[in-house]
Amino acid sequence: MTTVLQLDEIRQLVDVPQLIAELEHGFVLYSDGKVNVPPVGFLNFENPPGDVHIKYGYVLDDDYYVLKMASGFYDNPALGLPASDGLILVFSQKTGELKLILLDKCWLTDMRTAAAGAVAAKHLAPQNIRAIGIVGTGVQARLQLEMLRNVVDCRRCLIWGRNAEKVQEMIGELRAREYFQDWGLDLEAAGSVDDLTRECNLIVTTTPARSPLILAGQVQKGTHITAMGSDDHGKQELDADLLGKADLVVADSISQCVDHGECHFGVKQGTLDEARIMELGQVIKQPTTGRASEEQITIADLTGVAIQDIQIAKLVDRALSGRLSGA
């Protein structure tokens, strides 16, 4: 029998610390070659502008295979509609039976994307974080910051976006939330990207930019940058020279990032040797391959891998089974 879950039900089943741990395990499985993940399917639209990502795969000798569709239509907010939508389908790996339909409206994709940012920061950020820098003002900007509380100790955050009004709206919204009040995080608007890169040594970029927002000369020694906006062909948040300047470049998936991530531009323009790129799963499994000093510049290029969708879907399934069994 197929179980269908709506968003309100799904929200109650996701535990954030467990999700972060599941993604760590998933990235290791992926880098160890224990996951079958075909190339991402893309549908791109121009009028109105939008894109659909289709990701699917399975862990070898596991119970399920998973198919996820997630869309972003960027004019939707002006129509009073959410920009994102999507669902996840969970099938039996033994029989092909459709076991679970997760009508999550892209919430699970948002959560696993933000949790991946936390994983990257946990394993690559410097120990002493002066300030967190968030580039962008959308859903992912908020979630990335929220997730970081689980893995870093910092009490100051600067936010920059192209629209200063949206930055102030975001700051006001976050200050009003009990979660951020309990954290004691001081939230400020950055006047420019220069201001943000000068003050912050943990930076997360969360935009659909198609030209670099952060240049090589702006980044200080000892900075970690997680770039998660370049999830499709043509998107770029970081200057290709910055990839060459970095002491360590880590990809969630080397093949994906070279195809359509920040690494794509570095390799294409000759500033980054593909052989230098590490995979996040490798760094998690062998911490000595990660940040070697507080002075290094490190970059995590996160394009989003189907193993994240597999892991979060399995987390929901286990939580649902536990609730139904009374455990």
Q: Which residues are catalytic?
A: 68
Quick one: which H or E segment has residue 304? none
Cα dist from 127 to 67, 75, 225, 296, whole Å? 37, 40, 14, 12
Query: What's the N-to-C CA distance of the chain in angstroms?
Result: 21
* Three-class secondary structure assignment of 79-110: HCCCCEEEEEEEEECCCCCEEEEEECCCHHHH
200 three-state secondary structure: coil
How distant, in Å, are the alpha carbons of 63, 220, 260, 302 from that of 89? 14, 43, 25, 23
Encoded tokens for 212: 């670099």
Strand partners, 205: 135, 227
State the maximum Cα–Cα separation within the chain, in Å, rounded to a whole number.
Answer: 57
Give the span between the Cα atoms of 30 and 39, in whole angstroms.
14
Question: Distance between CA atoms of 156 and 193, rounded to whole angstroms?
Answer: 16
Looking at the DSSP assignment, which residues form a beta bridge with residue 92? 64
